[in-house]
A and B are shown apart, each in its own frame.
Chain A
Amino acid sequence: MSWTELQTALAAEGYVASDDLAVALQLAVSLERPLLLEGAAGVGKTEVARTLAQARDTRLIRLQCYEGLDAAQAIYEWNYQRQLLSIRAAAEDGETGAAVEARIFSREFLLERPLLAAITQEVTPVLLIDEIDRADEEFEAYLLEILSDYQVSVPELGTITATTRPIVILTSNGTRDLSDALRRRCLYTYVDYPDHATELAILKARCPDVEARLAAQVIGFVQKLREEDLEKTPGIAEMLDFAAALMGLGIADLTANPSVLQATLTTLLKTQSDQAQITPEVAERIAGRAA
């Protein structure tokens, strides 16, 4: 599949990928390398993994990282409680020790967590490791090991090797610097806010009902708003909410009714100081320029 075909396939699922991103995704698929996506919140990093899974008609396995995430929650864990119960049951049935042991350390008692699940699928899945920068550095090291060998060793069971290599997509918001080792292992793309034409295409793909005039105004407004000095710059999801809100209120022209515009800004501005900064006058000026 060439990168243009991949781009078309993603577009069919409602995701407008930039050329850069499409090439990187195609490389990640064909070279079987993990792809690291960086970028501000709300530019569609997570969404691209979901759409890729849909487009390829495979499973999406998601690992959400957080501080304190450890191997037991990311790779595998023995189902202790079930093991305990079956030991008790075995004692009453008079089963021998060796048989019980063989049984309770079988795959049946193994709880697969995302990383193990990803390498034991029949069909190549998409593995999304979301916000890798939130996980601890120790976990990053463990992840590196799995991403290079694609195998997990469980002491009681032996080594489980990958049946298929998952397509791995890592995302990062840059709350912490990632290690060079991880960056080297991965392909890399920085996902920026989309330009005017791309964002318009996204809006058209997601809300086909929106009128062309309003769509152009909404995109112009949001793009101009991103240039303002805001604490939290509105992303694509916010833009879609904004468009949906305007459509829900039956507005056809942004400049027509300043008070309604101000009310709908709650979908774009998510902190108190940002809301205070974009006064009705400022909003009207931006809308005027965008129109």
Chain B
Amino acid sequence: MTRVTRFSGRDPGPTARVAGFIAHLRDNGMRLGVAEAELSLEALCATNATTPDTCRRALRAVCTGCKDDAERFDALFDSYWMDAGRVKQKLTKSTPPSANDGVHSSRKGRGQDANAAGSAVAPDDDQGEADSNGTGKLVATNLRNLSRRDLRDLVHADEIAAAEAVARRLGAALRDRRSRRRRAARKGDRLHFRKTIRRSLATGGEPLELLRKRRPDRTRKIVALCDVSGSMGAYSQTFLAFLTGLMRADTAADAYLFHTRLVRITEALRDKDALRAIGRMSLMADGFGGGSKIGLSLQLFADTYARRFVDGRSVVLILSDGYDTSPPDLIDEALKKLRKRGCRIIWLNPLKGWRDYQPVAAGMAAALPHLDLFAPANTLADLAALEKELASL
């Protein structure tokens, strides 16, 4: 049983503690504001929370907004209120928080567990003595600090702009006309009877104005999976710029990185500042440039994210060279599962551009029967050239 944190005598009271807790959550990456702090207090009053568990439940309902947050919440709660996760640090002068403090990945914060510069109402340590302000650091989750390569060194802002233009054109090429339902439109192929009758009320029941409807264009959703293993090192620059551009051009797109693990980077790439987005992505891609487990990653994708985000309107774009350290039948099985969801699968292989290239890598050979399009791509120009082929899919 964990102990409840004892707060020092100088602590200004429960309201400040709750505010401190919200700040703690914010430091750990949850997007919460003053409104949530207020609501948390109301919630604690409303539940008449006297036991830690009730508090925990009430605050969880208020402060979390999705499953991932809800799962992390317990650890964060313990670290603040239950005296766990307390990390003693040498008394060093903390750097003043920078303007974009809410983002984990500012360079100053690199290598630290969180960009938290300590809160004014930090809980005290075991001896019951209050810590000096601003140096205590609350750590809820054991983030491993592996050697990271900063992806920002690979990608430049102008490349992202160029990639964005390419991604926009590819997105437009993938648009197709498949909807069964008709919607009102000025230049439609059929009459919209209901609207016509409604409008005819204005003219005494004479349908003077004929309204039309048509099948609307439906955008295809692009789901991109990018291999960032060691063998892809030379092409990562192009593909990462493309991914960033894609996410900025198309709000429905979805992006993932994989090497030995699969990481969803959609949220990170939606950051308004393009370079900051890449910074966040590099934090998520621990082990970037290592080995690759394409089969396992694809399988994980097919079993988890694909169930939520891939449907008949999706195009799954795999950017990989097909050199895999897991058995090839995993790829076969994973792609089979993906296919069943009714999506199109496109595999862009940088090696295919080479003369005399044969898809002999076992993984690539296993994937071939499931692909709608297997094309070379190792520069942005190559990606742009795909436009025509994508339109004919």
Contact = CB atoms under 8 A, between A and B. Distances in A.
A180 B65 contact: yes
A107 interface: no
Interface in B65-109: 65-67, 69-71
B308 A2 contact: no
Contact of B66 (A20, A176, A183): A183
Most chain B CB neighbours (cut-off 10 Å) among A23, A80, A180, A229: A23
Interface in A2-25: 2-3, 19-20, 23-24
Contacts of B197: 80, 84
A88 B35 CA distance: 54
Most chain A CB neighbours (cut-off 10 Å) among B35, B54, B71: B54
B42 interface: yes
Interface string B280-315: 000000000000000000000001000011010000
Nearest to A3: B47
Given A2-B48, A3-B47, A188 B65 contact: yes
B53 A26 contact: no
A3 B44 CA distance: 12
Given A2-B47, A180-B31, A31 B201 contact: no
A68 B64 CA distance: 29
A23 B58 contact: yes
Given A174-B308, A188-B64, A188-B70, A27 B47 contact: yes
B60 interface: yes
Contacts of A68: 181
Interface string B197-216: 11001000100000000000
A164 B201 CA distance: 35
Contacts of A30: 46-47
A175 interface: yes
Given A23-B47, A26-B47, A80-B197, A31 B39 contact: yes
Nearest to B62: A187
A176 B47 CA distance: 32
B61 interface: yes
Interface string A180-194: 100110111110000
B149 interface: no
Given A3-B54, A23-B58, A175-B308, A84 B46 contact: no
Interface string B32-57: 00011001001100111000011001
A52 to B, nearest CB: 15
Describe B's contact surface by its main secondary structure: helix
A38 B47 contact: no
Contacts of A183: 65-66
Interface in A80-95: 80, 83-84, 87-88
A78 B42 CA distance: 40
Interface string B204-244: 01000000000000000000000000000000000000000
A23 B201 contact: no
Contact of A31 (B35, B46, B309): B46
Nearest to B200: A84
B40 to A, nearest CB: 10
Contacts of A83: 201
A153 B142 CA distance: 51
Contacts of B308: 174-176
Contact of B57 (A24, A36, A88, A177): A24
Most chain A CB neighbours (cut-off 10 Å) among B62, B194, B198, B303: B62
Contacts of B57: 19-20, 23-24
A3 B53 CA distance: 12
Contacts of B303: 229
A80 B61 contact: no
Interface of B: 31, 35-36, 39, 42-43, 46-48, 53-54, 57-58, 60-62, 64-67, 69-71, 181, 194, 197-198, 201, 205, 303, 308-309, 311
7 contacts: A24-B61, A88-B205, A176-B309, A188-B61, A188-B65, A188-B66, A188-B70
Q: Which 5 pairs between the two chains have the least Cβ-Cβ distance?
A: A183-B65, A23-B57, A24-B61, A30-B46, A187-B61
